[in-house]
Structure 1
Amino acid sequence: MNLLTKMKKPKQTHVPSTNYFDLLSEEIVFSILDFLDDNPLDKKSFSLVCKSFYTTESLHRRALKPLRSEHLTKILHRYPCITNLDLSLCPRIDDSSLTVISNVCKNMLRSIDLSRTKFFTHVGLSNLVLNCVNLVDIDLSNATELKDPAAAAIAEAKNLERLWLRRCKAITDIGIGCVAVGCKKLRLISLKWCLGIGDLGVGLIAVKCKEIRSLDLSYLPLYVKLWTEDLVTYAGLVITMPAVGLEITKNCLLPILELQYLEDLFLEGCFGIDDDSLAALKKGCKSLETLDMSSCQNVSHVGLSSLTSDTACLRQLILAYGSPVTLALADSLQKLSMLQSIKLDGCLVTCPGLKAIGNWCISLRELSLSKCLGVTDEGLSSLVTKHKDLRKLDVTCCRKITHVSIAHITNLCTSLTSLRMESCTLVSRESFVLIGQRCQCLEELDLTDNEIDDEGLKSISRCSKLSNLKLGICLNITDGGLAHIGLCCSQLIELDLYRSAGIMDTGILAIARGCPGLEMVNIAYCTEITDHSLMSLSRCSKLNTLETRGCPLITSLGLAAIAVGCKQLAKLDTKKCYNIDDAGMIPLAHFSQNLRQINLSYSSVTDVGLLSLASISCLQSMTILHLKGLTPSGLAAALLACVGLTKVKLQESFKSLLPRLLFEHLEARGCVFQWRDKVFQIIEMALRSTFYYLQAEVDPIFWKLQLEDVE
């Protein structure tokens, strides 16, 4: 026998392996997980390592945004420490769902978002607020079917601090009165577009909720139809309201302005507010920081003169689509010594008015003149001469300004972080060179529909902090200029090249190489783009929004590369990409499990490709117009299989080809259908175009592009 076999093997001693994570406290591990918040897939990977990690991640999670109401029980039991629950992606939340939440979450739940859900009533809300007594945030926006009993149920949430009721059109003064009496800790309430609420309800909020910091009364009605006598039960009492008319006027403004802690007041579109109403401001509202009176057509410089120096904290004033900006209006605001931001979008602006704003002794940080008729070089140059500390400037569609304005802006406002100048068509090419040379702190730059060329892009590439760059309809730029952006602007997150026809694959390759953090790319109607561009962009793993409509050279091969490389893709528009077919849908179905919105109109996708998308559990919105390979039976099968759909755009012709029971079933699941008739849309667009021609200066090319994009 071999000598080696006779030798006795040494005795092996077992050394137990050490899990060093067991030596860390729960707080330290939670701190580590906090660093993974940017990408939810990282946390999922962490939880799949072992049972210990699975348990730790379950206990760490505080916020949840589920896609399916039917999975709520399982999910909530897995994550027992949830404090913030966002149900805006669940189309169907009914009373039983709210009962499950209230029974599982109980005292832990502090915030719930029901802003995009349906089918629940005051019964479910009552269970929720009675069991989840620590709720401080409730968002019920867009719950158009909720009535006063629902508001009365919310009134039982005694610790509520923030309540959003935007577009809850059926709630009246009765219901909001219940909220005012029951929720005395409210700090924020939004009643925007609550057409049933008038002076009485708003006045009750102001009188009863003394802790209010933010109040949104935008588009509350000036006049509405009388409503009949109504009643609601609250705290065992039957409250009856006689038939009256509604109006938001100065009667409720006085108690609002007496709120000791009020910081933000939004009165956009409140036509009942006039100069007499604002007289209450003369008494001062010393805590007010933001005041929005956009589209308040009955307010002039006389009323605004009530904004005296006693309104000491006012930092942001929004007067968009209101009175003309004249010398008198500017003079009426000069006492606002703390003002940092003023937005005058859509107003008629005079040169003396702009000059007067320039003479204010304060130093503005933000100025918005978007779509303001009357902005000239003289007025704008005079204004920026005095306000050199501007950080944000918006001169979108100020079509009269030229190189003179840009020279003044770039020479004086060198600390700009945001410059929006879409459709400033008289600005010459050399102006954009100045932007790059002098304003290198820019993070956002909108140059849509301008004369910028490659020299301008080369100069702008010096702005190394750029994160958002819009170059749509810039017909003079090419790959050479875009290459400079890719080389120097590594922090770029959003890039818009809509209809910039000179951009080809080489430019996109440079962007993809130099800007790996890209999240949004729009190359719609860049007709020379091919699959090579999509293959380049597939390296950008954070890409979540991609618009390629009108790129006829793109095929399913390029789309497959995006699906494999960009797993966070959530929004995809391939309209008029005629060579994308079923072969592109299969990789999407396999790899793009975060896809929520897709437009396949005018592509070559058939029943097979559409049905394959059913495996994407996140998919909620589909636009599938003019698909020649789509049959009624295939469409019906796909719609039934895509169980998470909340919105579908279809041709009007399919309405008569599919059974009514199918639509009723899908609508019961929470899906909304939008029907499109191309002929009708073209007529509608033509009428709208005529209207705008009569109202303001409009670029004819704009309407040409709109007609080309009709679905």
Structure 2
Amino acid sequence: MVRTPKRLASLCLHVVAGKADEWLRSSLKQTQDAGRFLYSIGGPFDTLSADNFSDLIELLGKTGQLKGQMWPWLIHHSLVRLDLRVCRALVNNAVIDLVAMRCKALKQLNISGCSVSSSKVSDLLTALPSIKEIDISSCPNINDSLTLHIMKASCQLERISINNCSKLTDNGIRVLFESPACNTLTHINASNTAISDATIASILDRCSSLRSLIVSFCSEIANPFESVPSSRRLAIIELDMSVTCVSNFTIHTVCHLCPRLNQLNVSGPIDPNMLTDEVVTSLQSVSCLSQLGLAHCSSIHFPSLATMFRNGNLNMLVFLDLSAHINVDCALIIRSCPVLQALVLDECRNVICCSDGSRSALMPHKCLHHLSLKSAFFSTNVDVRGTRQLSTLLYAVPNVRRLYLDCMVDVCDDVVVEMVASGKSLLYLEVLSLSGCGGVSNVSLDGIGDELCFLEFLDVSHCVELSRLDMNEFREKMKKQGRAVEVKWR
């Protein structure tokens, strides 16, 4: 099978990136006044489009070719989107000043993890009236002073991410979202912050167009919807309240107030006993769920969920995470969810795929592209060995692109060779993770190298049967075939 070559535009961009340092040195040599150069807006990139500038900055950052002296060239007045997270080490307050001064048409800005001050971000929002989306997540210097000038901002934000801003207090977050610039928000990510139920209730009252609310890993969250009038209906489509203090009543309230709810994640509740099978009853009132996360909800039992699968309540699911559940019936899920694209069953025990070992019981599921079974165990209560059940499951997902089988006791050379040599499954596999699988040896590597033509990443770390010689031979084999497979070992 032959890979599709990179688009011509991408190849050209790589050439430009490769020449960037040469052009920089040439310009510096010709410029006598270094100070004047720092304010130059021209340069060899001046004819690039706004999207080209954005892509070039990201490419230079990812490849480590970006230098601080390039900012006067790259921070261009035509920029509409700007993602600086890949080069966060080179981003400081001076760069933010340059963005505020030049990029008046900027609509999307991502400075996640950058060491910039709260006052500079506040000034930035005031200086850029067109900005719609900003990501300041994980910025170590962001604190409550962000709100000092925010009331003066004339922009109308639609998306904001403040997740992992540990210095922001609940009061600071509340003041931030009370600013006029935040009244038009449709997407909020405040994960791992000090945000409270009261602050979220205030946001729900002010932001009538809010469609996405992500507040995972917020220990103060229990039921922010409790104060919302029962007669009101919210526009929320995506809700992530994983690793919070949610309860059955929270889910009941959410399902009542959010009839358009499409994506729900309540994985890893702080108190698993607060989410029980009653959640299933509440979920039955939601007709269009496409993503559902119930990982580590140990008091929600699969037989209760099985009723929803059989009744067709979950037939529109695209993503499902049931990690750490017991007695999960893979065959039922695959039959009931025809458009499912990602299935995560990490750490599940007594997984059931087939009771008789017959592959005919499972029709091929052509939509599933992502399957994760890390540390999962197949059922020992049926007459079919775990290795046979795993083989049957993999046979039923012929178009899977990403497969994670880390630390599975049922993974061995026989299973790997059978699944890659069948000619009917895993033909398009791009990512394969077998980390910690003690039964994988060079026999598996030979099969993987011979059959998986689209493989881009292979993780065989902590596979004790593999030696340095085995890995060197595999890498040399890939090199001779002209395949750039990234391999993780040890």
TM-score, normalisation: structure 1: 0.55
Given candidates 254, 259, 268, the residue that maps to 1:464 is 259
Whose Rg is larger? 1
Partner of 2:138: 346
The answer to whether the 8 Å contact 1:490/1:516 transfers is: no
Q: What is the letter of the counterpart of residue 371 of structure 1?
A: N
| Residue 523, structure 1, aligned to residue 283, structure 2 | no
The answer to whether the 8 Å contact 1:417/1:442 transfers is: yes
Q: Distance in 1 between matches of 2:472 and 2:435?
A: 20
The answer to whether the 8 Å contact 1:305/1:332 transfers is: no
Partner of 1:640: 450
Partner of 2:205: 411
Q: Distance in 2 between matches of 1:403 and 1:205?
A: 48
Closer/same/farther in 2, CA of residues 572 and 218 from structure 1, 3 Å limit: closer
| Residue 203, structure 1, aligned to residue 43, structure 2 | yes
Deviation at 1:663, TM superposition (A): 4.5
Alignment of 1:173-212 (within 5 A): 173=20, 203-206=43-46, 209=47, 211-212=49-50
Partner of 2:80: 263
Alignment of 1:303-322 (within 5 A): 304=97, 307=100, 312-322=104-114
Given candidates 162, 167, 183, the residue that maps to 1:388 is 183
Deviation at 1:335, TM superposition (A): 4.2
Q: Distance in 2 between matches of 1:213 and 1:592?
A: 37
Post-superposition Cα deviations, 1:437-485, rounded to whole Å, max 9, x if no partner, equal 5562111111111011111111111323222222221223222113322
Partner of 2:237: 443
Partner of 1:672: 485
Closer/same/farther in 2, CA of residues 253 and 570 from structure 1, 3 Å limit: closer
Deviation at 1:564, TM superposition (A): 2.5
Partner of 1:505: 302
Closer/same/farther in 2, CA of residues 634 and 262 from structure 1, 3 Å limit: closer
Deviation at 1:609, TM superposition (A): 2.2
Q: What is the letter of the counterpart of residue 578 of structure 1?
A: F
Greater relative contact order structure (CA < 8 Å, 6+ sep): 2
Q: Distance in 2 between matches of 1:313 and 1:598?
A: 42
The answer to whether the 8 Å contact 2:79/2:103 transfers is: no
Partner of 1:620: 430
Any idea what SS the aligned residue of 1:488 has? coil
Partner of 2:387: 582
Post-superposition Cα deviations, 1:318-369, rounded to whole Å, max 9, x if no partner, equal 3433355545752464243333333221233333422532453443222221
Partner of 1:22: none
Closer/same/farther in 2, CA of residues 556 and 329 from structure 1, 3 Å limit: closer
Q: Distance in 2 between matches of 1:349 and 1:631?
A: 49
Q: Distance in 2 between matches of 1:368 and 1:314?
A: 17
Q: Distance in 2 between matches of 1:634 and 1:220?
A: 37
Alignment of 1:106-185 (within 5 A): 113=6, 137-140=8-11, 154=12, 163=13, 165=14, 171-173=18-20
Deviation at 1:606, TM superposition (A): 3.3
Q: Distance in 2 between matches of 1:460 and 1:215?
A: 42
Deviation at 1:304, TM superposition (A): 2.9
The answer to whether the 8 Å contact 2:374/2:405 transfers is: yes
Closer/same/farther in 2, CA of residues 265 and 557 from structure 1, 3 Å limit: same
Closer/same/farther in 2, CA of residues 247 and 579 from structure 1, 3 Å limit: same
Alignment of 1:452-491 (within 5 A): 452-462=246-256, 463-474=258-269, 475=272, 476-485=274-283, 487-491=284-288
Given candidates 366, 375, 400, the residue that maps to 1:595 is 400
Deviation at 1:517, TM superposition (A): 1.3
| Residue 367, structure 1, aligned to residue 238, structure 2 | no
Given candidates 410, 424, 427, the residue that maps to 1:604 is 410
Q: Distance in 2 between matches of 1:545 and 1:531?
A: 15
Any idea what SS the aligned residue of 2:112 has? coil
Q: Distance in 2 between matches of 1:318 and 1:634?
A: 42
Where has structure 1 moved over 6 Å in runs of 4 or more? 174-177, 558-562
Consecutive unaligned residues of structure 2, counting only runs of 5 or more, are 25-38, 380-385
Report how many aligned residue pairs link the two structures.
Answer: 447
Q: Distance in 2 between matches of 1:325 and 1:205?
A: 29
The answer to whether the 8 Å contact 2:255/2:285 transfers is: yes
Q: What is the letter of the counterpart of residue 143 of structure 2?
A: T
Q: Distance in 1 between matches of 2:99 and 2:445?
A: 61
Partner of 1:551: 348
TM-score, normalisation: structure 2: 0.77
Deviation at 1:417, TM superposition (A): 0.5
Q: What is the letter of the counterpart of residue 387 of structure 2?
A: D
The answer to whether the 8 Å contact 2:255/2:286 transfers is: yes
Q: Distance in 2 between matches of 1:484 and 1:563?
A: 30
Q: Distance in 1 between matches of 2:51 and 2:488?
A: 42
Any idea what SS the aligned residue of 1:557 has? coil
Q: Percent identity?
A: 17
Consecutive unaligned residues of structure 1, counting only runs of 5 or more, are 1-67, 70-86, 89-111, 115-136, 141-153, 155-162, 178-198, 226-244, 271-293, 678-711
Partner of 1:539: 336
Q: Distance in 1 between matches of 2:338 and 2:409?
A: 25
Partner of 2:382: none
Any idea what SS the aligned residue of 1:550 has? coil
Q: Distance in 1 between matches of 2:486 and 2:100?
A: 47
Deviation at 1:305, TM superposition (A): 8.4
Any idea what SS the aligned residue of 2:166 has? coil
Q: Distance in 2 between matches of 1:169 and 1:604?
A: 48
Q: What is the letter of the counterpart of residue 391 of structure 1?
A: T
